[in-house]
Amino acid sequence: MAILQIIKDSDPILRKTSRKVDKITPRISGLINDMIETLRKAEGAGLAAVQVGVLRRIVLVETEPDDLHVLINPEIVSVSDEMQETVEGCLSIPSKWGITQRPKTVTVKALNRYGEEFTLTGSDMLAKAICHEVDHLEGILFTDKVTHMLTEEELNEIRNSDNDDDGDDE
Q: Any idea which residues carry the catalytic annotation?
A: 133
CA distance linking residue 59 with residue 74, whole number of Å = 8
Instruction: Report how far apart, in Å, the C-alpha atoms of 158 and of each of 1, 128, 146, 165 are.
Output: 36, 18, 16, 11
Instruction: Report how far apart, in Å, the C-alpha atoms of 36 and of each of 5, 93, 122 are.
Output: 13, 19, 20
Please, which residues bridge with residue 121 across strands? 107
